[in-house]
Amino acid sequence: MLVYEAVRAHGLPALGVLVLAAGVVQLGMGVLRLGRWFRAISVAVVHGMLAGIGLVLIAGQLYALGGVQAPGKTLEKLGGVASLGGGRLGRRRSRGRELCVRVVGNASFLRLPKLLDTLDALPHGPSVRLDLSGLRHLDHACLTALDGWERQRSPLPGREGVI
């Protein structure tokens, strides 16, 4: 955050100065043989810190994968991962023997099992057509799975794929 603020306040050349200064500090500490003082920090503490940093980075990438703006706070980011990719069913319309179901929100492989379970709970009588025009994000895995699901549930001749 400090580097970001310095670059924002002083421009991109400040990044070069900061990287150079950090390198000089590290070289100076190496020459003065100060590295041995860092052995006092337990390996378990270092592993825990690295694992925490990794979780935050992975959570940020999952938001990007789901096409959703990540929250700014770390705990909000980690807490909201479970709700990512939550494609949900919108309004259902019936057209004679065919049921049209609109899927809205985000549909990614992260929430695909829940979405398929919800679709499987639909009545088995009419054939089902999926309307995916309400989705903000649809990854390839979801598109393939939803297309396969619709083909199973819609044995009408001449019908090809989702709309």
Please state whether the predicted TM-score (pTM) of the whole model is above 0.75.
no
Rounded to whole angstroms, the Cα distance separating 75 from 50 reads: 16
| Sign, CA torsion 143/146/149/150 | negative
3 state DSSP class of 44: helix
| Res. 50 pLDDT band, cuts 50 70 90 | very high
Check residue 126 and give its pLDDT: 66
Rounded to whole angstroms, the Cα distance separating 70 from 53 reads: 16
Check residue 51 and give its pLDDT: 92
E-strand ranges in 108-147 read: 127-138
Q: What is the pLDDT of residues 70-115, one digit of tens each?
A: 777 777 777 776 666 555 555 555 556 677 888 887 787 777 888 8
> If you average pLDDT over residues 112-131, what whole number do you get?
80
**Token pair for 147:** 């297309």
CA–CA distances in Å: residue 56 to residues 2, 44, 48, 77, 92: 18, 18, 13, 8, 38
The closest alpha carbon to 58, from 86, 77, 85, 76, belongs to: 77
User: Taking the CB of residue 43, how many other CB atoms lie within 10 A of it?
Assistant: 8
Q: In the chain, what percentage of residues exceed pLDDT 90?
A: 13
Check residue 91 and give its pLDDT: 53
Beta bridge partners of 100: 93, 129
| Pair 84, 62: CB distance under 8 Å | yes
User: Taking the CB of residue 14, how many other CB atoms lie within 10 A of it?
Assistant: 15
